[in-house]
Structure 1
Amino acid sequence: MSVDTSLPSSCARAATAEEARYRIDRPIAPSRAGRVIALDAGAAEVVGNAAMQPWANARFYECRTAGGGAGEMVLRGIDGGPATLADELASASVVVMVATSDEGAACAYAVGKACWERGVQTAGLVVGDGTHEGTAASAAVAALRPHARVLLPSADETDVVDVLTALRV
């Protein structure tokens, strides 16, 4: 069987001016209302850096527990303003939890449980070197694993921006 090489491939045809009139030249509209929650002090810095990017529907928070880890969960906007988890989840379609250590395990549990009860998709990002046993990042992976449907251990904090961009928040 011989192949006619005189005809351009579909990729070559797609690059022509004739086919360009069918291209969508607008950015894809955001489809998700994302909530990004830092679970520890190191993650708060990473989330604060990500929050400086232009986002359509994302909101950024820091989660702390009152009483040093065993008390009630407190959610604050990255700007320091108070927020309630129930109010934020009412309009959220995805929650991304960011951790650098297991310091926020209680927050991960509270956020994960609330998301599960409301059917809100969850993802976890662990920033740090989680490849070695006993590191803070590997402890964060263990703390987040039961509470995030998708879990990404990463050594690069720019992955937070990449994941949020991929989620179209």
Structure 2
Amino acid sequence: MTSWTLRSDSAKATAASEGRFRISYPRAPARAVRVIALDSGAEAIVRRVSLLPWNSASFYLAETSWNKTGLEGGPAEVVLHRIDGSAASLNEELTGVDSVVMVATTEAGTEAAATIGAACAVRGIITAGLVFGEDNPQTVSALRPYARVLVVSRDESDLETVLTAMRA
């Protein structure tokens, strides 16, 4: 009897005769993902997840300032801060990015979400939003217009799960 050695555990679970039907090309490369905390509650979550090993994910905290014209309802200026505290330009950080994940626990980051969402839309970058916490309809409503995909969760580990699924 011939013994077959297949490459993965899932492959070992199938019959050796089915091995010829397996896809033999490599997995797609890691995605360039930017994860942005929109408020202080989200900052704690993003900081924790940033400590895990990632292929090409970068983590930021968003700070919103008044718009230059001072007009109410005008676009907000967003300054990003890396986890180490250094400042980063939103425009520069979006260069070559596949997707942006915005993380919120309150509606406090609405202006930042609007600016980030608009910048991503112009560049064709997919946006996702994760809202954490108990019963946050205001936060969901605030983030919904700016995220193509929106996840509402009570489990903070869902950010890690989403990033893993994105091959970040």
Do these two structures clear the TM 0.5 threshold for a shared fold by scoring above it? yes
- Paired with 2:12 and 2:155, the residues of 1 have a C-alpha distance of 38
Is the CA contact 1:38–1:61 (under 8 Å) kept in the aligned structure 2? yes
Amino acid across the alignment from 2:57: A
- TM-score with structure 1 setting the length: 0.79
User: How far apart are 1:78 and its partner, in Å?
Assistant: 1.3
Residue segments in structure 2 that go unaligned for 5+ positions in a row: 1-9, 67-71
The 1:30–1:47 alpha-carbon spacing in structure 2 relative to 1, beyond 3 Å, is farther
What is aligned with 2:48?
49
Q: List per-residue Cα deviations over 1:69-125 (Å, max 9, x = no partner).
A: x86321100111110110111121000000000000000000000000100000000
The 1:82–1:12 alpha-carbon spacing in structure 2 relative to 1, beyond 3 Å, is closer
The 1:108–1:15 alpha-carbon spacing in structure 2 relative to 1, beyond 3 Å, is same
Is the CA contact 2:104–2:132 (under 8 Å) kept in the aligned structure 1? yes
Is the CA contact 1:37–1:62 (under 8 Å) kept in the aligned structure 2? yes
User: How far apart are 1:13 and its partner, in Å?
Assistant: 8.3
1:93 is matched with which residue: 89, 95, 98?
Answer: 98
User: How far apart are 1:51 and its partner, in Å?
Assistant: 0.4
SS at match of 2:94: helix
1:124 is matched with which residue: 129, 134, 142?
Answer: 129
Q: Figure out how many residues of one structure are paired with residues of the other and give that number.
A: 151
What is aligned with 2:143?
144
Residue segments in structure 1 that go unaligned for 5+ positions in a row: 1-10, 131-136
- Paired with 1:163 and 1:79, the residues of 2 have a C-alpha distance of 23
What is aligned with 2:4?
none
- Paired with 1:144 and 1:111, the residues of 2 have a C-alpha distance of 11
Detail structure 1 runs of 4+ shifted over 6 Å in the superposition.
Answer: 20-24
Amino acid across the alignment from 2:117: G
Q: List per-residue Cα deviations over 1:47-80 (Å, max 9, x = no partner).
A: 001101100000000001135xx86321100111
SS at match of 1:114: helix
Does 1:79 pair with 2:78? no
SS at match of 1:36: strand
Moved more, 116-125 or 58-67: 58-67
Q: List per-residue Cα deviations over 1:12-49 (Å, max 9, x = no partner).
A: 9853467679878xx94643100000000000000001
Is the CA contact 1:13–1:19 (under 8 Å) kept in the aligned structure 2? no
> Percent of aligned pairs with the same residue?
50
